[in-house]
Structure 1
């Protein structure tokens, strides 16, 4: 089946702009499929999937939406409907890429539809809000946002240039994928989590796993990084997880900027794939520049990682709670799981003579885990800090042993 660029948007208010993008994309030899999410006025161009279909998929008829004339309800229903319609098209194998444009409403509708599309399928959103906080729109998916500079309200010399560039981009991505000749070697994939302060550990683990024939995808534990990894775990991309850097739990507990939400540390266990978990960077909570740190933390210990990142040391009480939180989430695992605790430190900053060195804090974290961890889950203690090569070898060998067991192989854990 021929893959198409799916264009999503309001054809009553943005019809001329969508017609322009459609014509540019098709002039490059790429087919399109247009979905209308407008509500009030007649569409400027004829869609392939009409607004009434989208509205019904969202839970109301287009006549009901038109009668209500409530913008909030219309955006909510058409957002839900667009997401459902695109999901069906993905299942049918039609979607080669997704394109959207608009202001806050058009961005909301387009982004919701794109977040339901698998990672790897091109997604491009031309938006008036793309120069601000894009996290609510992008989430953990590979959505590309392009700032429109001017409002998307008619075609002029500048807007047509920007839209033409966007059309070239989305068509080029689809064409490039269809023409790709190179066949990459299919290797089983393993996910790993990393922070700057756990890089030595994760790098060595990655190298060990790659030597054994695995493709290792490393996720930056910045909230969206953890969510993206777990999204891919649920989608079945990985055969195992090296969840070395669980720092996002600290941001969730204390209120930092890198929380991955309440479902962090659950996907691998529920998916039934082997995992080795550690306590990387649980010594810190992340904030932006110093002036953004909430006033209630003024008396805490800080480390200025760079001009835009301020790290705050977790307290004894917080570490005890983090240990409990980690253990309780791991307890739900249905998969082979090992938890490795490096007693010498959990990051480059948390070891002897470093800024966050804290034996009491580490002991509280240890106690919280031990008191609440399910007894049948293997808990391995080691005296070294997390970035010591011995810890990396321990994690790598434990994970390989779990994967080999799953394949019916023999353990090869080195002492």
Structure 2
């Protein structure tokens, strides 16, 4: 069996010794190959570097190589991200990459993780040894499966502590790349007997609904179901996988991230939420699960404009780390407008999109006996959404049940099945 190949990225003008040590540790086992790409700013003459920084900078263009050393640092990093992303992506498309690894400081980490995020799909092993790994790393990982390993000491010269961490990193990427390489045969066999891959969005307050849908789709139809926790990164991860064509249909039950985006909560998935599935033209059922709430951290972190009693906002302590705020009628109107605009502007197959509104309650805590029950807010949400989508070709259905009732779950699941069959012509 051919050996897996691991791409090693290094800023060789500043981290050559550390990068070559990591390379040596990966190769020591004799079970994998390494291709070393120099993503540094200044040229380095070393015969262990497989692709120089000049070759990378010129990749994908017929222009002369950019003199990276003459660029401002931010421009050098952008140039190298773009060219290296293209290079690594092309290697992956030809089956030549089974893992990627690097070690570096803040600038190197920013550069390399951008390449990892954009060049390789979810599932390909990605490991970054970084001085930044113990801080806020959300902007580095985003919604991907990058693994960060803290270097503990700065990556500034070989020493016994850093050496051991780099040995560990070598073992980690070697093991992951080997398993990925070995799994390709299984993946190919599974592709000959494909299952319909369905994404569902879930929150704690919509869990009974999602559990029932998942059981229904897997046991009755044999679908493969991926559940995404609607915490901001979850919604973005789902949309990324749709764009990577790793998802065939979407049951977007829980669109609460939109409330956080519009009102200022902590779990937003950004302004592009709802675009991927619509643009892909795949079957999609959408609902308004947990749009009755905006998410904040502990009670004392709720912004003063919401927490002061004179603003008369209903706050609910979900747990000591999470405080929920009931959305107002005006905010529900904004949420409905957001959904309506996104679907109208991006749905290339309106006939494969359907909205189902559970009028009995849109979360566990918004049914008539629960603290977030607010019929005026729900009415604003439902009426505005219907109005926004009128004449769009997108069907909007009201269902009398609450979102967590088994009847609603069955309706949502069977509605998606109908759209999948419609798309396939079955």
Q: Same fold (TM over 0.5)?
A: yes
Q: Distance in 2 between matches of 1:402 and 1:67?
A: 55
Q: Does 1:383 align with 2:400?
A: yes
Greater mean deviation of Cα atoms: 87-96 or 73-82: 73-82
Q: Distance in 1 between matches of 2:110 and 2:239?
A: 23
Q: Distance in 2 between matches of 1:109 and 1:130?
A: 14
TM-score by length of 1: 0.93
Q: Distance in 1 between matches of 2:330 and 2:110?
A: 40
Query: In the alignment, what sits opposite 1:413?
Result: none
Pairs within 5 Å for 1:92-111: 92-111=94-113
Structure 2 counterpart SS, 1:154: coil
Pairs within 5 Å for 1:322-361: 322-331=335-344, 332-335=346-349, 336-361=352-377
Query: In the alignment, what sits opposite 1:113?
Result: 115
Pairs within 5 Å for 1:194-209: 194-209=202-217
Query: In the alignment, what sits opposite 1:54?
Result: 56
Query: In the alignment, what sits opposite 1:237?
Result: 246
Structure 2 counterpart SS, 1:12: helix
Q: Distance in 1 between matches of 2:121 and 2:15?
A: 26
Preserved contact between residue 191 and residue 241 of structure 1 (Cα < 8 Å): yes
Query: In the alignment, what sits opposite 1:402?
Result: 419
Preserved contact between residue 198 and residue 249 of structure 2 (Cα < 8 Å): yes
Q: Distance in 2 between matches of 1:39 and 1:236?
A: 35
Deviation at 1:252, TM superposition (A): 1.0
Deviation at 1:226, TM superposition (A): 1.0
Preserved contact between residue 127 and residue 145 of structure 1 (Cα < 8 Å): yes
TM-score by length of 2: 0.91
Greater mean deviation of Cα atoms: 220-229 or 72-81: 72-81
Q: Distance in 1 between matches of 2:75 and 2:243?
A: 31
Of 134, 138, 142, the match for 1:139: 142
Preserved contact between residue 4 and residue 178 of structure 2 (Cα < 8 Å): no
Deviation at 1:2, TM superposition (A): 5.3
Structure 1 counterpart SS, 2:288: coil
Query: In the alignment, what sits opposite 1:27?
Result: 28
Aligned residues: 408
Query: In the alignment, what sits opposite 1:412?
Result: none
Query: In the alignment, what sits opposite 1:373?
Result: 389
Structure 2 counterpart SS, 1:399: helix
Q: Distance in 1 between matches of 2:278 and 2:81?
A: 32
Q: Distance in 2 between matches of 1:67 and 1:394?
A: 61
Q: Distance in 1 between matches of 2:153 and 2:371?
A: 47
Pairs within 5 Å for 1:252-263: 252-263=261-272
Q: Distance in 1 between matches of 2:48 and 2:64?
A: 19
Q: Distance in 1 between matches of 2:44 and 2:245?
A: 42
Query: In the alignment, what sits opposite 1:189?
Result: 197
CA offset digits 1:208-256 (Å, max 9, x no partner) = 1102110000111111111111111122222211010011111111111
Deviation at 1:308, TM superposition (A): 2.0
